[in-house]
Structure 1
Amino acid sequence: MKLHTIESTNDYLKLMSLNKSVEDFTVIVANRQTKGRGQLGSKWKTEDGKNLTYSVFIDTSFISLDKQFYLNCAVSVSLFNVLKKLMLPNLKIKWPNDILSDNYKICGILIENIVKNVNTTQSIIGVGLNVNQLQFEYKKASSLKKLTGIHYSLDEILILLITELKSQVDRLRTYDFKLIESDFKNELFRLNKPSTFQTPNKEVFIGIIKDVTDTGKLQVLLEDEEVKEFGLKEVKLLY
């Protein structure tokens, strides 16, 4: 479903799912989002009609709540695979769920779960992909067109993205968790490289990303040789 202007595709789809039965892989696409957001409430600002801002409804009742990290892996890998086919340079998956190209952010992901009961979970996958926009307030943001010089059809790219997402979710349905996790980790930004991190208190420290746990926490080797785990709200990777 294509909409011209709404506050948030995730919120729109969430409200739909609460009021009626929603078909698996229902997609809501907005030409303009007035309150698009990313992780931790950050705002996702884009120029109207030049990018893809969309949300996908998925019945994830086949994944237990303690394995939701694998859904994050599958979504990230699906986006990575499509962008790789489009020849975007130096692609990486940045923890927890951004896609970078040449160290520029081109895509952000926001996954929100709706728990109906103990055995029923539904997920709304929100994606913001910079496609044809050329000017950005955020200096570390870029787009497909800016990086490749090619003007893209938003509809054609969306079809590629949804097709690949379905393929990766099918892998989840066959409980191919570890291979999907491996695909995610193999493309992890700054893996095994000294990196700079910042805490919510603005404290900065150096560490080396060693792994991501099955619950999605980042494992960082610190200068004292201690490996510490950080959750989503506990650390920010500076680059």
Structure 2
Amino acid sequence: MKIIKLNAIDSTNTYLKNLLKIEYPADGTIVLANEQLAGRGQRNSSWISKKGESLTFSIFKKYDNLLAEEQFAISMAVALAVKEALTFFGLEDCHIKWPNDILSANRKLCGILIENVLEKNRIKHSVIGIGLNVNETEFDNLPQASSLYRQTGIKYNLDEVFTSLSNAIFEKLKSVEKVPFESLKEAYESHLFRKGKISVFENSAGNRFNGIINGVSNSGELIVQTESATKKFTLKEIKLFY
């Protein structure tokens, strides 16, 4: 495992992708930033990190034989790895909010941004960005955000959390080409936030409706039972409120 440590950078994902234009990094290369100035999240959102209180890093992972149609396996594997690692650190009531945010008691602690590069019908490699709130105490204008410290009352050593978290992710990714897709999906769905409960959603037109999450499709769409029918939604088509 090669670790590139940086003091401050706009985005660790962007840094890794720019590095790919110059050289092909070794499998498992990690870019770890002490401070990230322009982190990116899902839906083109930003990820705010605090120097010395949070972890922001990106992992480069290549694959030998992972089909493009199975790329959601990467998202599920990474989310499960993060969830399991944080549970080890004492985090309770931990769930995966589709597609791969990590929550504790309905509060978001970790965001994951995965960018895959395809070659023909296979996935060549991924750049996997992780943003984890560790020791923060305050979140200005972010009422749904939290940290490991706020959820457990424990102050953590960032290096220890980083080591455990990155190792857990690598272990899951090492087996992602071997573990049956359905087995991985079953594990993922068992930890899916609001699964089987009546929830409020908003579609791309801004209209809200009630529905029940049944699970996910093989391509990563959210399967929701609405009042009229069972429907599949992509990330751009739906937003879960509660």
TM-score in terms of structure 1 length: 0.96
Is 1:147 the equivalent of 2:151?
yes
Alignment correspondent of 2:87: 84
Q: Distance in 2 between matches of 1:98 and 1:114?
A: 21
Alignment correspondent of 1:170: 174
Of 174, 196, 201, the residue aligned with 2:200 is 196
The alpha carbon displacement at 1:175 in A equals: 3.5
Number of matched pairs: 238
Specify the code of the residue in structure 2 equivalent to 1:82.
A
Q: Distance in 2 between matches of 1:20 and 1:123?
A: 15
Tell me: CA distance 1:177–1:120, structure 2 relative to 1, closer, same or farther (3 Å).
Answer: closer
Specify the code of the residue in structure 2 equivalent to 1:15.
N
Contact residue 66 and residue 122 of structure 2 kept, 8 A? no
Of 156, 159, 181, the residue aligned with 2:160 is 156
Alignment correspondent of 1:72: 75
Alignment correspondent of 1:179: 183
Q: Which moved more, 1:197-206 or 1:109-118?
A: 109-118
The alpha carbon displacement at 1:11 in A equals: 0.4
Q: Distance in 1 between matches of 2:94 and 2:175?
A: 22
Identity among equivalent positions (%) equals 39
Moved over 6 A (4+): none
SS in structure 2 opposite 1:192? Answer: coil
Contact residue 68 and residue 123 of structure 2 kept, 8 A? no
Q: Distance in 2 between matches of 1:102 and 1:175?
A: 30
Tell me: CA distance 1:209–1:108, structure 2 relative to 1, closer, same or farther (3 Å).
Answer: same
Alignment correspondent of 2:239: 236
Q: Distance in 1 between matches of 2:212 and 2:15?
A: 39
Q: Which runs of 5+ in 2 are unaligned?
A: none
Contact residue 134 and residue 148 of structure 2 kept, 8 A? yes
Q: Which runs of 5+ in 1 are unaligned?
A: none
The alpha carbon displacement at 1:185 in A equals: 0.6
The alpha carbon displacement at 1:188 in A equals: 0.2
Alignment correspondent of 1:115: 118
**C-alpha RMSD of matched pairs (Å):** 1.2
Contact residue 71 and residue 123 of structure 2 kept, 8 A? no
The alpha carbon displacement at 1:120 in A equals: 5.4
Contact residue 116 and residue 122 of structure 1 kept, 8 A? no
Alignment correspondent of 2:29: 26
